[in-house]
Structure 1
């Protein structure tokens, strides 16, 4: 879809005419998602500066910039026998943590990312949804790689909106309505006792995996809040939880089609998060000091999970096939074990750093003010 949008922008003069002031006052600059380099090309032709927004991590953007190197050095396309090989140029990543899969069209991606990288070197400024204390080295590397002085870490951006408005997608009716009654249920639970389970709006599982997760949660004995979307199991009329599950978890477990995630993660009763590690979910968990069980599936999720585990030390990956006993052990490791407690402590320190970002003199607040000053000067 993104490739098609860029192709359309490059082929049409309509967008260029808008920027040029043919249909409204001429723009002073273009503020655009960094994936839409077709828009940036039109702005460049008109001499308009472009400010780009990256909604993913700084580490992910560095991986995009390194794509030609990853090919040249033989990491891509990935070979099954090399998935655990360290990518020594991008520590702590392994081949299997890269944002591309063996099913990707690498020729198409090479051309797409080459254009994106070329566009990045022409940015007037780059804005990222991260914060300096989380990705210090990665942010510095971006500035060195693309050669622009203004790389601004303004995140976590969800902290700039209210919790009622901050959960993505509600206004466009793409996702289910949030079940706010689950907050009332959380109010009845012991502080730090509940595992929140959600794989986001796109990740899926088959019926066998759903059953194993259900019994893993049930057998763990741990309280949980589990988001089970209507489309979680593709090709079905809706997920069907195993017989006897409801009776076994009555009072201890809550299943809901969709939850107000930021509010859930901020709730005193929630002590852990089983997540797919999309960047928004990862950053929201970091912001609330909530350690994670990581179950990534595609795109940048593997990379995010790797940083959660190997860099920040606030979670671990649940690898291999989903199996109820292994799931139960992972839950107890996070919620009851000494390793989980150490992860929770480190997550709490990151939560403090998030809070300080938006205080007077905080890194994200300074970056936002710098962005405002830059836009005002154009």
Structure 2
């Protein structure tokens, strides 16, 4: 009996070029490497030149880059970056894929693409060239459902807005979501001002809906966290793989940071007792006013707890840099440690951290959940609104502080998260379940194994000579 030809499986992983969306796909790339798959990770030239790795990348991971079409000093706001990626970026991507269809320098041809689901062109171009393409969802399953449902939400007049009106337009999440919990663009009332709906949210929603047409959809979540939402998504896709939390499942997890991490904060944490420090980080994109900063600092100081605060360069809007420096100096003279960027996984794992005040981005939410640390969520935009609702009302592993910036509320919620036995128990129970999920035989581990087999089968069917057009 003739055996099938041996095909070297080579996956090209293509993330959306933002800090928070690069890392989960890098964790997937690492997991594929662990499974013996060849992997190329595709950055933009702008990001590749900036990356300062917290750990050395896996030696077998091949890094390539394409231009995003914007000048180096461009702020790269979402809509402008998407437009440029869909033109300059997509042309460069097609050319790179064409050159990757044949072996070169001991590198086998690309046999499969995994691309961020918000970039429809990435899967479409791959399939057009005869390369099977899978979509990767960097949002939670619940947030993905919300994004997919935004056209219906706007049609029903349930536009995202800071109000407690219940939402009926997201199937499977009736009775959970309020208007304030829906994905929204930057600016509190932007969805009310945009007429037919927030263009950024609708654009992302189009991408998420399109990703359901890919060979399969990969979601960085666990079935134990979002089983009902995953069932709804499965009914809309050809196949879905819930493989998260990926950062905790790989034996050699890599990470990439566009900012240099301040490891000195770990020694500062070492000097504190167990569960007595509040860790504060609002992610890689959010910008706050000077007034919001002072409210936060005042509320945190009033708790009496020491706190570690991440304050990125340019994160605070103020006309006086001297005033900002003075405010930071006063805080650090008390019980605060302020850094520009922190090694977040190490911080959350530290015995001294008792609470995480966070923007509730999905990466931060997962990282915190795995460590069993209670959360206080202060979301800004996009999926953060939905994630914070899950934390506060569904999982009850923390508190939802959205649409409020008041020192008294900050003090009250941080104190409650630090001392509540109920929240701590829920957070620990979720952490224990997630450890079971990623262990051998667990749901996420099994799904990851099924995904690797699925990719191998696709590669055999499409190889050994992909179609060149």
TM range (shorter): 0.7 to 0.9
**Structure 2 counterpart of 1:361:** 441
**Structure 2 counterpart of 1:346:** 426
How many Å separate the matches in 2 of 1:279 and 1:308? 11
- Structure 1 residue 86: Cα displacement: 0.9
| 1:75 and 2:158 correspond | yes
Map 1:362-377 → 2, pairs under 5 A:
362-377=442-457
- Structure 1 residue 98: Cα displacement: 1.1
Q: 1:24 aligns with which of 97, 102, 105?
A: 102
Q: Aligned with 2:369: secondary structure? A: helix
Report which structure shows greater RCO (CA 8 Å, sep ≥6).
2
1:357/1:107 Cα in 2 relative to 1: closer, same or farther (>3 Å)?
closer
- Verify the 8 A CA contact 1:271 1:290 in the aligned structure 2: yes
How many Å separate the matches in 2 of 1:222 and 1:303? 28
| 1:124 and 2:215 correspond | yes
| 276-285 vs 315-324, which moves further | 315-324
**Structure 2 counterpart of 1:99:** 183
Unaligned runs of 5+ in 1: none
- Structure 1 residue 279: Cα displacement: 0.9
How many Å separate the matches in 1 of 2:435 and 2:124? 37
1:333/1:163 Cα in 2 relative to 1: closer, same or farther (>3 Å)?
farther
Give CA deviations for 1:12-41 in whole Å, capped at 9, x if unaligned.
Answer: 4x6445545686356433221111111222
1:19/1:232 Cα in 2 relative to 1: closer, same or farther (>3 Å)?
closer
**Structure 2 counterpart of 1:156:** 245
**Structure 1 counterpart of 2:233:** 142
How many Å separate the matches in 2 of 1:184 and 1:110? 41
| 1:223 and 2:321 correspond | no
1:163/1:325 Cα in 2 relative to 1: closer, same or farther (>3 Å)?
farther
Map 1:260-279 → 2, pairs under 5 A:
260-279=343-362
How many Å separate the matches in 1 of 2:280 and 2:424? 17
- Structure 1 residue 117: Cα displacement: 5.2
1:284/1:113 Cα in 2 relative to 1: closer, same or farther (>3 Å)?
closer
How many Å separate the matches in 2 of 1:247 and 1:38? 47
1:15/1:203 Cα in 2 relative to 1: closer, same or farther (>3 Å)?
closer
How many Å separate the matches in 2 of 1:29 and 1:203? 34
1:216/1:245 Cα in 2 relative to 1: closer, same or farther (>3 Å)?
farther
**Structure 2 counterpart of 1:334:** 417
How many Å separate the matches in 1 of 2:216 and 2:332? 55
How many Å separate the matches in 1 of 2:243 and 2:344? 21
- Verify the 8 A CA contact 1:271 1:335 in the aligned structure 2: yes
1:241/1:346 Cα in 2 relative to 1: closer, same or farther (>3 Å)?
farther
Q: Aligned with 1:367: secondary structure? A: helix
| 1:184 and 2:267 correspond | yes
**Structure 2 counterpart of 1:195:** 278
**Structure 2 counterpart of 1:240:** 325
TM-score, normalization by structure 1: 0.86
How many Å separate the matches in 2 of 1:231 and 1:280? 22
- Structure 1 residue 324: Cα displacement: 2.4
Give CA deviations for 1:165-205 in whole Å, capped at 9, x if unaligned.
Answer: 43x42xxxx32x22222211212211111111111122122
Give CA deviations for 1:264-286 in whole Å, capped at 9, x if unaligned.
Answer: 11111111010011111111111
Give CA deviations for 1:323-351 in whole Å, capped at 9, x if unaligned.
Answer: 32332222211113xxx221111000111
Q: 1:292 aligns with which of 367, 375, 379?
A: 375
How many Å separate the matches in 1 of 2:94 and 2:332? 61
RMSD after superposition: 2.7
Unaligned runs of 5+ in 2: 1-80, 104-108, 459-469
Aligned residues: 360
